[in-house]
Structures are given as C-alpha cells and as structure tokens.
Amino acid sequence: MSHRFPADPGDLVRFNPFEAGHHFDYTRCILTGLPIDPQKDLRPVFPSTWFERTGLHPQHRLQLVNGGSLDYRDLRLPVHPTCWEGGLDEVARKCAELFASGIDTLGWTRTERIYQWMCWLFLGVLYAEMNTLNNQDIAHPAWKESSFLNRYRMIHLSLQGAVFPIQYLGYDPGSVFILPLESGTQGFDFKSSSNTQSLSLRVGESLILASLGDNGAHMAFFEDEFLTYRDQTLSALQGDEIFARMCYRNHLLNPVFEYGIGYADEEDPTTYIRMQIPPELAGEEAFGPWSDLEYVTVLDQYLRPHGVQPLKTFQESGELMTFLGPANGS
C-alpha cells in the first residue's frame, strides 16, 4: 500500500522537533511532525535481524543520561508510513544489513545514505533520552544551549534528506570513517554521545565512527590521520581510543557556523543549505586549545572497560596513555 503526504512536502521539511513545544512522546513522526499510529509506525532503530546476526543480546542495554537503561529492542522512532516507504527503510534497514555483512558491502549504497544512517542511530538514542525526561524538570544541560539545539537540528535535517531532496552547497554536513579491525574481533558495541554528537558502532571486524554536524571538520583537518588508521590492523581498544579523540575534538569545536536554508517550494522541490562563518569570526580557530588534563578523562571513560586506567596513569606519572602510533597525535 502506498501513502501520500497530507501536506506540502516543502512545509514538512520545516518541521524542527528541537523547537520549544514539541514533545518526544512517540505520537508524531520524527521527520515531519505528522501524527502516526503508535501501534504500527514505531520503527526499530536497529533491525530485528541484527539481534541474532551481530551477537546483540538483551544484556546489551543502552545507558541513558538519567542513569536508566533501555533494551536495544525497545529503541524505536515514530515514522510516518510515507517517510518509511519513501527512503527511511533503505537507510534504517538496508544500511544496517550491509554493515553487518562487512564494511566492503557498504560500497553498494550511496555515501549520503551511510551518513543518514548514522543520523538515524543518533536521533534514535536522543529521542529515547528526551522521552525519558519529557515530563521532568531536569534536563540535559546541552538541551538548553542554542548551539547544541542548532546542531541537533542540522543532524535532523540530514535525516530528512533520506526522504526529501536536500542539497548542501559547498560543504559536507559531517564526517564518517569506516575502519577495519583485526581478524577475529567479535561482538557488538555501540556508543552515542549526545554532548559531542559522535557515534561509534562496531560489529565484529568492522568499525564505523561518525562526527555528526561538524560540517566536515574532522574530514578536513584529520583526514591524513584517519588514512593511516585504514592501513593498520586496529584492535577494538585502539578503535575506542580513536573514538575518544573524536569526542574530545568535537567538544573543542567552535560553534562559529551559521546556516542559510532555502526551503523547497512549488517551483523547486529541493531544499538548499549553505554554511558560512560570519566575517567577524573568520579568524577564529576551528577547534579550541587541546588540554591533556581534560582529554584524559574522556579517554579513561572509553578505555577502562578494556582493563586499563589512563586517568590513574596520568595522575601518577603525568604521561598520557596511548595505544596509537606517535604520528596520530592530538
């Protein structure tokens, strides 16, 4: 059965769930704000076939910002049927199946689809976190800052691009790196940082890292570094160290960007997005100054599950622990 939008698609792209007044209560489509049927239109963020295929079991639970946790099977997003049939199915289900088959198969889909899939995963987690705190006075500090909400909106706009024509003028909306891990690496691991808009997804010997909404900054400034990683045989621990660096760099990223959005209309169905840096901020560095003292706390968070203690080592010796080569510095 095919569906049609009950409104002008150009108007639907204007929907922004991060504006005041929207409730993350699973009753309206994440892309358009249109009402949905919660009995039929809540789509799994991770496809059901993954749970056996990737070794994802009920004990793998997503940790939420309020201290609670959620079974990955319960991680869902409300999607209008027309959006699902019009492109989101290809992103949410097909990209996941390709990745589970090995990173080489990702060449069978378009690059923008992979980025949209990362946005889908990120918003799936963010939606669950915002729903948890929907009716509470407490809120994640980042959700009160305009720079964070603006970046969330740009990530959301990228996901809308799975259904509606969207063109970026002269820049990339984010950075994605796909890396092979050493032979014999098994299992599933997923990390999502709403503070730094960073994702890490590992299935067996395949690792994908995404810096969402950074306007291609990671690709522009650190592409050579990531190219060296592709030539190495990385362990899961090394992959987590690379992710720690990505998260900290995103924490340092200066929010100096402004966006101009030309929305679709009757004459042109495409939405155009232009990014610029205001002239008065043109001399600003892209990233704030690096601090080993700050970075080691991020590194410790992601490496402690591997049985190492970077923070303790740094406090005792002043040396910053690393499992990557010296050419891959900050």
HEC string for the chain = CCCCCCCCHHHHCCCCCCCCCCCCCCCECCCCCCECCCCCCEEECCCCCHHHHCCCCCCCEEECCCCCEEEHHHCEEECCHHHHHHHHHHHHHHHHHHHHCCHHHHHHCCHHHHHHHHHHHHHHHHHHHHHHCCCCCCCCHHHHCHHHHHHHHHHHHHHHCCCCCEEEECCCCCEEEEEEECCCCCCEEEEEECCCCEEEEEECCEEEEEECCCCCHHHHHHHHHHHHHHCCCECHHHHHHHHHHHHHHHHHECCCCEEEEECCCCCCCCEEEEEECCHHHCCCCCECCCCHHHHHHHHHHHHHHHCCCHHHHHHHHCCCCCCCCHHHCC
- Whether the CB-CB separation of 207 and 234 falls below 8 Å is answered with yes
Quote the pLDDT of residue 56: 73
> pTM of the full predicted structure?
0.91
- Whether the CB-CB separation of 118 and 124 falls below 8 Å is answered with no
Quote the pLDDT of residue 330: 47
Quote the pLDDT of residue 210: 95
pLDDT in tens, 180-231: 888 888 888 999 998 899 999 998 888 999 999 899 999 889 888 888 888 7
Quote the pLDDT of residue 174: 93
pLDDT in tens, 71-105: 888 899 999 999 999 999 999 988 888 888 877 76
- pLDDT of residue 327 exceeding 60, the answer is no
Quote the pLDDT of residue 285: 84
The stretch 139-162 carries a mean pLDDT of: 80
**What's the pLDDT band for 311 if we cut at 50, 70, 90?**
very high
Quote the pLDDT of residue 328: 39
- Whether the CB-CB separation of 17 and 156 falls below 8 Å is answered with yes
Quote the pLDDT of residue 132: 82
Please give the residue that has the higher pLDDT: either 53 or 124: 124
**What's the pLDDT band for 106 if we cut at 50, 70, 90?**
low
Report the range of poorest mean pLDDT among 134-148, 242-256, 292-306, 310-324. Answer: 134-148
The stretch 137-163 carries a mean pLDDT of: 79
Report the range of poorest mean pLDDT among 16-20, 88-92, 162-166, 281-285. Answer: 281-285
Altogether, the residues listed in the chain come to a count of 330
Integer CA distances (angstroms), 109 to 79, 141, 222, 315, 322, in order: 22, 37, 25, 46, 35
- 120 residue type, one letter: W
Report the range of poorest mean pLDDT among 2-11, 101-110, 294-303. Answer: 2-11
Q: Can you read off the two tokens belonging to residue 193?
A: 């940082």
Quote the pLDDT of residue 2: 47
Highest mean pLDDT pick, 40-44, 63-67, 325-329: 40-44
Quote the pLDDT of residue 329: 40
